Amino acid sequence: MRPSLLVLAAALLAGAAGAAPVEVLVRTPAGVPLADAAVLVEPLAGVPARPRGHAPAAHAAIEQRGREFIPWMTVVQTGTSIDFPNNDTVRHHVYSFSEPKRFEIKLYAGKPGQPIVFDKPGQIDIGCNIHDWMEAHVLVVDTPYFARTGADGRATIAGVPAGRYRLRLWHPLQKAAAAPDEIEIGDAPLRQTLVLDARAREPKPHTEDDTDHY
């Protein structure tokens, strides 16, 4: 094997070594698994570049179906574009007044022409100007290492390189921000059970007199 190929192979092996998944179970103080919590692994050395093979999707979608936003909570990396397809038979008027990303997609059906680019980190709360009960939440983060908990309260972030990190939780309905933990990533999976003081989502009732002419 030529020297240049040996160097390349060694570099690839070094990149593959020293990476491990972070597996987290998030519960409420009452011990109930918490869905829709963002689990963030943030390098203590600062904002990392997107690692090869671990780049999150630069595009996502939050659809409107059954006069609800699906998913209710989304976590994306800074710079991700999000589509808002309307798959209902009624029109919606999607907006956000949140400082990291103010936008408005006026009364429409189907798929809007352009996605919205979420270019600043922070929390964005989204609503529909026609259907007051509709809401969605987006957390935009700088780190490429993140996941959202499922109904069982579990989330896995794969392929986190060895090093020291800050492990942080977030939920749209948290009562207070939880103090982050400092963790050390090596070759073995890291498993944590964490508590976040938040209440689970309770879908709001739809207004019965909502008409289909919108």
Same domain, 27 and 81: no
pLDDT attached to residue 203:
86
- Report, as an integer, the average pLDDT of 185-204: 94
Same domain, 117 and 161: no
Same domain, 93 and 41: no
Secondary structure element (H or E) that encloses residue 174, with its range: none
pLDDT tens digits for range 38-64: 999 999 987 665 555 555 558 999 999
- Report, as an integer, the average pLDDT of 137-160: 97
Calpha distance 99→22 (Å, rounded):
31
Same domain, 60 and 139: yes
Beta bridge partners of 69: 64
Beta-carbon count within 10 A of 47 CB: 12
The CATH number of whichever domain residue 31 belongs to comes to 2.60.40.1120
Give the residue numbers spanning the domain of 71: 56-143
Asked if residue 1 belongs to a domain, the reply is no
- Report, as an integer, the average pLDDT of 64-76: 97
- Report, as an integer, the average pLDDT of 172-182: 94
pLDDT tens digits for range 106-130: 999 999 889 999 999 999 999 999 9
Tokens encoding 154: 């579990």
Place of tokens 């979420």: 118
134: Cβ–Cβ under 8 A, 6 or more apart, which residues? 64, 67, 68, 69, 92, 127, 128
Same domain, 135 and 61: yes
> In Å, how far from its chain's centre is CA 193?
19
Q: Where does the pLDDT of residue 146 fall: very low under 50, low under 70, confident under 90, or very high at 90 and above?
A: very high
Whole-model pTM: value is 0.85
pLDDT attached to residue 48:
60
pLDDT tens digits for range 27-38: 999 999 999 999
Asked if residue 207 belongs to a domain, the reply is no
Residue 207 clears pLDDT 90, i.e. is over it? no
Calpha distance 210→23 (Å, rounded):
43
Listed residues 105, 123, 143: the one ending a domain: 143
166: Cβ–Cβ under 8 A, 6 or more apart, which residues? 40, 41, 42, 43, 44, 180, 181, 182, 183
Asked if residue 170 belongs to a domain, the reply is yes
Secondary structure element (H or E) that encloses residue 181, with its range: strand 181-185
Residue 9 DSSP symbol:
H
Asked if residue 83 belongs to a domain, the reply is yes
Residue 195 clears pLDDT 90, i.e. is over it? yes
Place of tokens 């943030």: 42
Calpha distance 207→214 (Å, rounded):
14
- Report, as an integer, the average pLDDT of 74-103: 96
For all residues of the chain together, what is the average pLDDT? 88
Same domain, 117 and 162: no
